[in-house]
Amino acid sequence: MIIAIVGPTGVGKTKMSIEIAKWLNAPIINCDAVQIYKGLNIGSAKVTDEEKENIKHYLIDIKKPDENYTVKDYQEDARKIIKKYENSNIIFCGGTGLYLSAALMNYKFYEDENNVHCDNLTNEELYELALKKDKSMTINKNNRVRLIRFLNKKIIEKEELKNIYDNVIIIGLTTNRNNLYKIINDRVDKMFNDGLVAEVKELNKNYPNSRVLKTAIGYKEVLEYINKTITLDECIDKIKKASRHYAKRQYTWFNNKMKVTWFEVDYENFNNTIKEVKEYISNCKK
């Protein structure tokens, strides 16, 4: 059985995955895109050795911050691990929905194939071509880069996307918006207290050309602060805002792309939520 623990940032996925892994004697595959990279610990809220409780974890700390790692790479790596444990239980944990979809669904990758010549076309013309290709596409007409990329790639029809594995259970952890936002804000404050600025300074010194440092939430904003383009207070506020927006996008992905069973987290007694999830999994196994 494959069990995925998903949900927005900060909701309690790591703790739940550990408890379910101990219960089922299962390894855990990370599906957080930032935790792939070595050294990006505080800003990604990476699971610590102590938190792992001797549970085997995969696809954490497998790349240096200046190394490239694609969704296709993740798909290939994750499926090798699934094959290794094909007769056992296995758990995915993380909030990067694209990674999980690529691993568990018939998510296909195509090289740019149409080679549309766009240099002499206006944004409006590109937008009209994109609508002709797929009338349901939602790219902003001013986003020239995405429009060109879209025009140069083959469309995968929505109905083609389906699970390629049997016995997949996707557990979503959730809470009300006000509580989630408080969790996110408190989590960001803790990251700074734990030394996020020092972590980013050290990473930037050793990997000045790292793409992930320039794009990951929490890291790109601290780089702005280090470069003195924003104040520390502005940096903290930007990370909190970006994290809240990211949580919204996570909900959108999991609700639209995957069949998730959601559980409201009891933060007064997390064991109650663990019990609910275990009961649900047990019923699914019957």
Residues, the chain, total? 286
Indicate whether 138 pLDDT > 80.
Answer: no
**45-56 pLDDT per residue, tens:** 999 999 999 999
Question: Which has more confidence, 141 or 238?
Answer: 238
**166-194 pLDDT per residue, tens:** 899 999 999 999 999 999 999 999 999 99
Q: Does residue 95 contact residue 32 with C-beta atoms inside 8 Å?
A: yes
Measured CA to CA, the distance from residue 264 to residue 57 in angstroms comes to: 26
Q: Residue 267 is encoded by which pair of tokens? A: 């933060």
Q: Residue 1 is encoded by which pair of tokens? A: 């059985």
- This prediction has a pTM of 0.83
Indicate whether 151 pLDDT > 90.
Answer: no
- In CATH, the number for domain 2-108+163-285 is 3.40.50.300
The C-alpha torsion from 67 through 4 and 262 to 174, rounded to 10°, is -40
Span(s) in the chain for CATH 3.40.50.300? 2-108+163-285
Please give the biggest Cα pair distance in the chain. 61
**In sequence order, what DSSP letters do the residues of 108-149 get, joined into one string?**
------S----TT--HHHHHHHHHHH-TT----TT-HHHHHH
Indicate whether 158 pLDDT > 50.
Answer: no
**223-238 pLDDT per residue, tens:** 999 999 999 999 999 9
